[in-house]
């Protein structure tokens, strides 16, 4: 007679899976409450159009209104200019400072601290400081420009100059932060490569182009994504310094979302703008990472 014995004890793999799920359960609950459910809620809310005194209706009406809104188009254009004006200079300066301060000396440690100090200042406090610097006539910048014979300039009140002032404070704030990542990336480059290049007679720019920048590919990818996120989420200085003006010249996407949600009480339009913003950020981040990965060298 053939007897088949069934074991009621779970397999080791099942026990491991249950243990892993139990350990991850608190994180999954928090992610579901504060990340996944809000994302689902905003997406659903963007599909509900409700006008004052009318019944709500499902559809893409909020996205149609968003496309026709000139203020949103202006905010998108400002955000693109803001991203181009902050990301490229900040990363270039951060890389230059990291290359110049990669040695370990007391003076270098002091200079690193000075460059990192802007990151330690809250953005609201930094914006208040720059309001004083850009104050027309009596500000610190106009004070020194007057010594050079330049007239007083309304830096924050001119539609042509206000966005440049916002870009300047962002570069000052983020450069030292990005420098830390490049310093870490430079520390991971084997010294053998540089020594071999020196033996072959490679100059500074040749070593930079052939060795340093390719090996910093993962760092460039990470910093680029962080910088893209910062262009969308850092609007404290916009609120303090210009309030989106003058004439919408410094209005950003996130500030536009705040205006629609809190000032105009139009949650549907704000949700639609949020979906477009997050979707665009995700697409740009993926494209940036894929483009950078083509030239990335991973050390085995």
145-150: average pLDDT: 84
Contact 299, 185 (CB under 8 A): no
Supply the pLDDT for residue 9.
Answer: 64
Take residue 45 and report the two structure tokens written for it.
């809310």
Supply the pLDDT for residue 41.
Answer: 86
CA separation for the pair 210, 254 (Å, rounded) = 39
Q: Calculate what percentage of the chain has a pLDDT beyond 90.
A: 19
For residue 1, pLDDT over 50 is answered with no
Angle between helix 140-147 and helix 123-133 axes, rounded to 10 deg: 30
CA separation for the pair 151, 134 (Å, rounded) = 13
CA separation for the pair 174, 165 (Å, rounded) = 15
217-232: average pLDDT: 87
| DSSP-assigned letter for residue 57 | E
User: Where do the structural domains in the chain lie, given as residue ranges?
Assistant: 82-293
CA separation for the pair 192, 62 (Å, rounded) = 58
Take residue 259 and report the two structure tokens written for it.
């205006």
CA separation for the pair 13, 66 (Å, rounded) = 51
Strand partners, 57: 49
- 82-293 CATH choice from 1.10.3720.10, 3.40.47.10, 3.40.50.2300, 3.40.50.720: 1.10.3720.10
For residue 232, pLDDT over 80 is answered with yes
143-160: average pLDDT: 85
Take residue 13 and report the two structure tokens written for it.
């793999």
Supply the pLDDT for residue 261.
Answer: 86
HSE value, Cβ hemisphere, 13 Å, CA-based, for 34:
6
Least confident of 108-117, 175-184, 242-251, 280-289: 280-289
For residue 252, pLDDT over 70 is answered with yes
pLDDT in tens, 69-117: 899 999 999 999 999 999 999 999 999 999 888 888 888 889 888 998 9
pLDDT in tens, 2-56: 454 445 566 676 778 788 888 888 888 888 888 888 888 888 888 887 766 666 7
269-288: average pLDDT: 85
CA separation for the pair 289, 287 (Å, rounded) = 6
Residue whose pair of structure tokens reads 């709500």 in the numeric block:
56
Contact 116, 180 (CB under 8 A): yes
Strand partners, 49: 57
For residue 207, pLDDT over 50 is answered with yes
Take residue 73 and report the two structure tokens written for it.
């188009």
Least confident of 2-6, 15-19, 139-143, 180-184: 2-6
- Tell me the pLDDT of the chain averaged across its residues: 84
DSSP state letters, 14-40:
HHHHHHHHHHHHHHHHHHIIIIIHHHH
């Amino acid at each position: 007679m053939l007897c088949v014995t069934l074991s009621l004890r779970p397999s080791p793999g099942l026990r491991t899976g249950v243990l892993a799920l139990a350990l991850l359960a608190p994180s999954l609950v928090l992610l579901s409450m504060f990340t996944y459910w809000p994302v689902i809620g905003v997406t659903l809310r963007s599909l509900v159009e409700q006008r004052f005194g009318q019944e709500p209706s499902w559809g893409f009406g909020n996205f149609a209104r968003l496309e026709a809104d000139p203020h949103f188009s202006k905010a998108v254009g400002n955000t693109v200019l803001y991203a181009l004006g902050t990301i490229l200079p900040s990363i270039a300066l951060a890389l230059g400072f990291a290359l110049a301060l990669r040695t370990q000396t007391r003076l270098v440690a002091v200079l690193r601290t000075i460059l990192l100090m802007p990151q330690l200042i809250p953005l609201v406090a930094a914006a208040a400081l720059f309001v004083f610097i850009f104050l027309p006539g009596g500000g610190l910048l106009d004070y020194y420009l007057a010594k050079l014979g330049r007239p007083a300039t309304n830096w924050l009140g001119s539609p042509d100059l206000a966005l440049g002032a916002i870009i300047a404070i962002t570069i000052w704030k983020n450069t030292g932060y990005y420098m830390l990542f490049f310093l870490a990336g430079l520390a991971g480059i084997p010294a053998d490569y540089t020594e071999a290049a020196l033996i072959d007679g490679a100059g500074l720019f040749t070593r930079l182009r052939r060795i340093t920048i390719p090996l910093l590919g993962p760092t460039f990818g990470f910093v680029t994504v962080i910088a893209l996120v910062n262009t969308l989420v850092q609007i404290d200085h916009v609120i303090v310094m210009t309030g989106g003006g003058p004439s919408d010249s410094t209005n950003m996407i996130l500030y536009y979302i705040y205006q629609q949600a809190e000032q105009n009480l139009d949650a549907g339009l704000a949700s639609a703008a949020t979906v477009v913003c997050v979707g665009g950020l995700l697409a740009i981040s993926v494209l940036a990472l894929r483009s950078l990965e083509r030239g990335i060298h991973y050390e085995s």
